[in-house]
Structure 1
Amino acid sequence: MYKVLVVDDEPTIREGLRTLVDWESFGFRVVDTGVNGRDALTKYEQHRPDLIIIDIRMPGIDGLEAIERLRARDKRLHMLILSGYAEFDYARRAMSHQIDGYMLKPVDEDELIDYLQRLRKTLNQEAAEREHAAGWTPEMVVRSLLSGTPPAALTEAAGNAGLNGASWEAVVVRLHGRQLEPEVLTEACRRLACKLSAPERICYTAEGDLGLLVMNGAGSESQRAALMHAIEDALAGLHPEVTAASGGVVESWTEIPQSHARASAALRRGFFLEPGRIHPPDSAPRDPGGEQAAEPPDLSDLTDKLTLAIDVASEISIGEWIKQAGSRLLESGSDEQAVKAACARLVSAVAARLEARRPGSAEETLQRGLVELYKACRFTQLMERMHSLLIEFARQTEQGGAETQVKKMIDIIHRHYDRSLKLETIATLLGYSSAYLGKVFKHKTGENFNTYLDKVRIEEAKKLLLKGMKVYEVAERVGYANVDYFHGKFRKYVGMSPAAYRKTAGGS
């Protein structure tokens, strides 16, 4: 039976309502009556009725004030008001407090029966919803909320699940390193729940990610670090890599979707986030959002620099050029796939240079390396793998010993004579003093470095002159920025000017 409290300052009305209908036949029982608003408040606390029928005008605390106080205490309480013809304005004000209806005095039996039948149906439905909501776990409420169920439809379940009266912070955890089958995500959530679930922490899954709701927020940086360590510990052995981001604290459980959405948005750029910490929602590098992702920068200018660094096996130089490439890629705002493609193009171009000189020296290593580049699950890992691949190229070409380095120097001169080459620069890259390497070079070739370089350049210049190129063009093509300086060098080694050589050699 649903409990009814009747409140009216007129005894005849109170007693009349008790006997006007057979209450129990409609599922109701009048448990008590009250004489004014104050009495209504007191007896509400005693009986916790499901329905109060209350007069709108009474001495002391009137019906309107009592209704306001009752509604503040109990959002689910059903109320019918009694009023006279002259009290319509009062009744209209009372209706703003979710009143189920009002009846004019004297109460009509059929009207009361109609209200009771409708209210019993409503109360039965509410009871069923409460029973259903009582079986909801916090995880079920959160998943339903994130799937788009209106908060109003989950109020009962959220209250039963302990979500009311607290602020919450969503931490979304993304797993990397293997194909995410549904059973893998389920197992990850189970492990996280076993390790971290508590009344103040709720584990859930959403859109292929793990989620952790933290009551009143995750706390200080040290507390966040401890939480991240616990997350990694819980998932150890299941996934080698995780990235986590927070959506910030929200003041009500109804705003949990907003916190979750902000964390998920940060993880859209999760590839670029460092591991081992819970990132705030604004920590990800520039995200073009709904706009088309930015094109990655052209890194082709690094091909020659990296090829030269590989030729002289300078791991330091390789690292510096990779660092520059990484900075430019981050600044571009390009997405993960575009960045990986740019890195693949760069290492492929370097490998092509190496292959052109020594067929078979880089192709197999390149193919293995490209697979590893595309499997990288974060930006730092991508840079490390690209660096390792280029170091492997360098080690494959490195033979060791100063005399072997001289052979490399000769090779570099013949392939890069058109650039600014200095013994000091190459010696530094090779890890030798320029004085020592210069002596070894002269011992091996019979000439000092600059003379050898000049002769290579002049031989190439002679070929270009016979092809009809202008003298200043030839000078630039073989590495001399100053045409007069070129004239002097040419005359020194050939015994005549470039123009005279072309005329003489061309005529013969």
Structure 2
Amino acid sequence: MHKVLLVDDESWVVESLKDLIDWERYGFEVVGQAYNGTDALEAIWRYKPDVVFTDIRMPEMNGLELLQRGKSLPFPVHYVVVSGYAEFAYVQKALNYGAVAYCLKPFDELEIAGVLMKLNQMLEAGKPSDDSSLIPWIEDPSAANERKLEDELMQHGISDVAVDGIVMVVSVGSGELPDIHERVIKLKTGTSKTAYLLSGRQAEAMRTKWTLQFPAGMMGIGVSNKVCELSGIKGEIANADVMAYQFFVTKDNRAYEPQLFKDAELNQHMLRMSDAIRDKDHKSAQLVFSSIEDLFREQVLSIRHAFQVYNMTVSFLFKLGQTENILYSYEQLAQSFDHVFDMMAELRSLAARYLKTPDLALAETKNQTFNAMFQFVTENFQQDISLQDLSEQFYMNPSYISQLFKKEVGETFTTYMSKLRIKYACELLDGSSLSIQEVSEKIGYHDYFYFTRLFKKIMGKTPTQYRNEQLV
């Protein structure tokens, strides 16, 4: 939605305009209102609206002065002047000062609607377009792909890479990063995740704005290190991706930059966790949980570490082995828990339950039960199904389910699910015009880079290479 600020010294006029139009229908929402020019200028700084509807005759600062002052703002704002005066001089001045339209009171609904449709087209045209077709070049940084990417950067006005460098910014949440209208490459990498490639100089200016006022609709923003070589883009997108989810650890929505984390210390704790679970030592396991929580509290770990702690702990508890993962993406983790301490509470509860009970021996397979579960997985593999989900639905220990899959299917649940999804992906790549991002989402993977890594691991080639081979 594009943001609108309404300005008039008579409150009933503001309310009348607000109620007259179905703003949402035309892609707009009214985010604020002001009753004089001075307050309006403050509101513009606070809300950063895309459009301001303003009267001309107001106390303290009139509408034309507001338009003049608006030219010096560091972000673009479109102005629509509304007035009860149809004098040519007013109209001429308003348009000379940059007003998009001049509307007369009393308001005409059709006239305002026409102005909004025009504004919507202008604003949409000014947004960075989705350049996700460039992702395969980033994913496979060969010399040929680097040349293509360099040409694309040049076309987007990002030319002095060796001097200014490139910074990757990943946003998680609804909407788009504001105030980015040119010299940017935008890559949609997930359902609610976007990566932006900016020049180092531009990113520095934007970072200051996001720090002062965090964009509405965003959950987290990750800002990468600056790179001066194109081969470094892929790795820095991964770094920015991790930092974009740092709100999961800190509970604070803001922009985060890469930092040093205590990987080695966490690895030591996970070794202790493995020993405690192996020995069914509940007390020691709880002490390890406390030590890990302290690291998260100090904010010296990231969502990458939370992902590691969750999958490894569950694997230790249910004896799943390294190839069996409960969750496979940061997005899944953030959707499953409000923050990392909710996740830790869940792990404490699981450990308390399973370390105080005897191991469950593998019973004889009840074909009817397994067949029902197998059919459910086969028919719903595009959905987010985990061992924990199956455990709750079919009233079985996750370890037992994992063993059943190995016994009946010959491979782990995770491997079986992955193969089903990649097989379907191949069908879509071969028989549809869906983009690779759309294929990824359709088979249940909402992170483009995770999907391409898994596809290459199973098929021995990237999705792009596979699709190109089918066209020959």
- Check whether TM > 0.5: no
Task: Considering Cα pairs closer than 8 Å and 6+ residues apart, tell me whether 1 or 2 has the greater RCO.
Answer: 2
TM-score by length of 1: 0.29
